[in-house]
Structure 1
Amino acid sequence: MGKIKAGRWLSSIVIVIVAVWVTACAQGTQKTPAPAAAEKEALAYVELLVFKWGGVTLTATEVEKYFNEPIAKKFPHIKVKLIDVPEGDPIEPLLTQGIIPDIIFGGSYTAIEEAGLAEELAPYKEKFGYDDQRIKPSVNESIELKSGGNQVPFSVNLPVIYYNKDIFDKFSVPYPTEVQSWDQILDTAKQLTRADAGVHYIGIDLQPTRLASGLSLDIIDPATNRAAVTSPEWVKVFETLKKLYSIPGFIGTDDTYKYADKDDIFYNDQNLALYSHNLAQLIGPLEELRKQGITMNWDFAPHPNFEEALGTSIEINVHTLTLSKASKHKDEAYQVIAYMLSEEVQRIITRNGRVSVLDLPELEKEYGADIEVLKDKTIANIFKTEPRKIHKPNIYESKITKYINDAAKDIAVGGVDINTALRTAKEKIDKDLETLRRQNPNTSLHK
């Protein structure tokens, strides 16, 4: 019986050797032949969970287009599943339920670290390779500042002005086609803030930290680790907000002074004429709506800034991928993350409405080519301004930004003057920072 088994085993080996020899001959001098069907079948199926975290946008259609379709060709045994963590929701309940991410899309690196999910990438870069020379220098700089190189860039989320052409047409206001200062934009917003046929139209809604980003302002001074919000530049930011709040008709009933708390305000209510936001937050959802037969008449305008910073927009915003320390499939997850930087995948995301992180200017010429909602849009207006260098991150910044927003509210509806509002914000920030430093004495404040 043993001899019969041995004979069959030897015959099998001969058959395999012959098959391999025939395959090699057929492929000629090809250096890296594709895996045989039997090899592909032998690879264990892996499902990677991608957590979308921290207010970023990633639709189900985009997951298939950017991840699963190209991954199926490169890694046929791997599939990605999206887990949507709503903005502001804690991640811990999912972890407690045993729902563990392999990859995290978006999210503050500090928050990912605090959750114990940030894996160091150096060993994986050494094992599987990573060429940062292919990436835009501004992107590399942002990744290094925010995570010490422990995140991989996915796309650049450029800022832009979306504008509702129907509102401009209704009130006979010329479209914004050139780079403008915030004062010029506010002049336009005055003409578009009005009530008509029972509808309360708003010219534009602005947030203080977004305005401050146009000057790369620190909230916490890296030299003193105290609030930096009473500087002349911060005063200028709030003077601009004051001009907005002073537009007749802007402050609504019940002292409403904010109109763009949610991304869908622009395309659902359609009473906001100008919307300062980033590409990724709206393009995907607008395309999803188009597929449902819901459309609106809109276009892009270049992003404004203060007069002294014209030609730049706001600090660079990079959507990132983080390898989860809790993953049971770290090698596979890293290889998928690294593959997202291939020219093949970056071309797909560019043609479908996101901006590539690769230092290949020719890709910009293909922007939006494969997504119907961007047909006939003024794509050139997206690239008329350059993103700015980010200010030095502080790990406590996200915990004290609320005081900046409180200052804006005090000015809008509380009757408080700018200097008093900012001084109050500074006092509250410094008090919280002192408490946080006492609670975490060995923590480095800046990355």
Structure 2
Amino acid sequence: MDNYVLRKTGIVITGLTLMITGCSGGVDSVKTVKPAEEKQVKLDTTPVKVKFATTSGPFNEKDFQQYVKDPVAKKYPHITLEYINMSEKGLSLNELVAAGNLPDIVVGYGATLKQLKDLQLFYTLEPLIKKYNLDLNRISPEMLEYIKVNGASDSLGGLPAYNNTFGLFNNKGLFDKFGVPYPKDGMTWEEVGDLGRKITQMYDGVQYRGFFPDGVNRMINQITLTQLDKNDKSMLTTEPWKNAFELWNKIYNYPGSSDPPFNTINFSNNQAAFLKGELAMITGYSATLLALREAKDMSWDVVTYPQHKSKMGYSTNVDTPNLSITEQSKVKDAAFLVIETVLSDEVQLDFSRNAKMSVLTSDKVKQEFGKGIPEFQGKPLNLVSMVNLKPSVPRISQYQGSDTNKIVSDAYEVVLRKEKDINTALREADEALNKLVESKKKQ
């Protein structure tokens, strides 16, 4: 076979089983099974190098080794992977393109798909998915939809690696201190906010706070409330946006909860307060879970992310790094085998066990979430709650991005600091958003 091996991609059983019952009442089973017919793809095993470009967020070097390099070496030893850290100076995607050092695989979140299009690197994976018979039904449909939405395409410009999942973390010790029932799975934002108010109080000279909900954009994405309409005009002065700001004010903006220095939406400061034992609940994510490995003296647990009354069953937005192949890659088949390996049951189970939510629909894989973390073993933690809700897929305009999100965040912060009322803040944000979009259209 020279440099080729046969790769099984599917099995069709053509056997026939017959049950024959005799007149005398005796039963004989006769099974006729023809040899399996296998659909096979010839793999070129000539040694090949695949350039894997990522920032350190989705895959640092240790994660790359564990979840990509080692599994690929085991499954496809003819493929060598080169790790390119786009977080390093001079190695951003734009700089790589300018230098003619084009990667074969690019890893990034939603905005990266648009960047690939702008740089004319966008490649549709459907032909390779069909060629290698990759079963997309194994993958969460929300993850696939997210890729199409962010790529503004009906085709898949990438495939998801894992998902950063969210939950409501709680310090059980503070609930015990103040005689308040623990939070439970399935609670709404209002219910969690009410619990937080019961705990927010000064006690023995310490200001204890009940709940930090993170930025309002988290809930906006949960209910897929859009910033721009179909004509790319701001939606910020509509009633749903006003209701969203009012909800955030109710659950967070009151004395003792949002006093300085907590009158800005700063996740790091609030996570530090939670780990210190002065904040009872925080809507955190996978990184919060990993930070709790060091909180050996804290009695804590996690329940499902707070839900919006209008969209029960959903967490906040999909937050998955995507694996894309560049149009100019000369080793697309090998690059696809790398992606296929990351999506294998073995690697996805490893992700799940180490608190990176698998993108597979498999309940078996979901149930293993976080179980590989040594510090949590033997503790009755409700870790699976973090993967029990569906992630939302917000519809976004091509003009939406970190800059438009900042306009929304800034608008809420001026309300939080009591500098402006909600109507004024949203009206001014509406004007700023329309102005920004118009400037983008002229570029």
Shorter-chain TM-score bucket reads 0.7 to 0.9
Tell me the SS of whatever aligns to 2:397. coil
Residues 206 and 73 (structure 1 numbering): CA distance in 2 closer, same or farther, change over 3 Å? Answer: same
Partner of 2:223: 215
Deviation at 1:226, TM superposition (A): 0.7
Partner of 1:46: 49
Deviation at 1:402, TM superposition (A): 1.6
Residues 136 and 409 (structure 1 numbering): CA distance in 2 closer, same or farther, change over 3 Å? Answer: closer
Q: Give CA-to-partner distance per residue, 1:252-276, whole Å, 9 cap, x none.
A: 3367322315796477655443221
1:162 to 166, 169, 193: 169
1:321 to 313, 316, 323: 323
Identity of aligned residues (%): 25
Deviation at 1:335, TM superposition (A): 1.6
Partner of 2:30: none
Using the size of structure 2 for normalisation, the TM-score is 0.76
Partners of 2:384 and 2:266 lie apart in 1 by: 28
Structure 1 gap ranges (5+): 1-15, 17-30, 33-38, 440-447
Partners of 2:280 and 2:338 lie apart in 1 by: 40
Deviation at 1:404, TM superposition (A): 0.6
Say if 1:156 and 1:317, in contact at 8 Å, map to a contact too.
yes
Root-mean-square deviation (Å): 3.6
Partners of 1:173 and 1:326 lie apart in 2 by: 59
Partner of 2:353: 351
Partner of 1:394: 397
Partners of 1:297 and 1:354 lie apart in 2 by: 23
Partner of 2:409: 405
Name the structure with the higher helix share: 1
Say if 1:120 and 1:150, in contact at 8 Å, map to a contact too.
yes
**Aligned AA (2:439):** T
Partners of 1:82 and 1:300 lie apart in 2 by: 35
Tell me the SS of whatever aligns to 2:228. coil
Number of aligned residue pairs: give it. 394
Name the structure with the higher strand share: 2
Tell me the SS of whatever aligns to 1:322. strand
Greater mean alpha carbon deviation, residues 424-433 or residues 96-105: 96-105
Greater mean alpha carbon deviation, residues 176-185 or residues 140-149: 140-149
Say yes or no: does 1:252 pair with 2:256. Answer: no
Q: Give CA-to-partner distance per residue, 1:72-131, whole Å, 9 cap, x none.
A: 211224245362628xx9654566677754433332222343355433334544554433
Residues 268 and 383 (structure 1 numbering): CA distance in 2 closer, same or farther, change over 3 Å? Answer: closer
Partner of 1:22: none
Using the size of structure 1 for normalisation, the TM-score is 0.75
Q: Give CA-to-partner distance per residue, 1:135-182, whole Å, 9 cap, x none.
A: 233333222222231111122333211223344344443321232121
**Aligned AA (2:184):** T
Say yes or no: does 1:418 pair with 2:426. Answer: no
Deviation at 1:408, TM superposition (A): 0.4
**Aligned AA (2:442):** R
Partners of 1:111 and 1:282 lie apart in 2 by: 29
**Aligned AA (2:55):** K
Partner of 2:250: 243
Say yes or no: does 1:69 pair with 2:97. Answer: no
**Aligned AA (1:120):** T
Partners of 2:270 and 2:65 lie apart in 1 by: 22
Structure 2 gap ranges (5+): 3-37
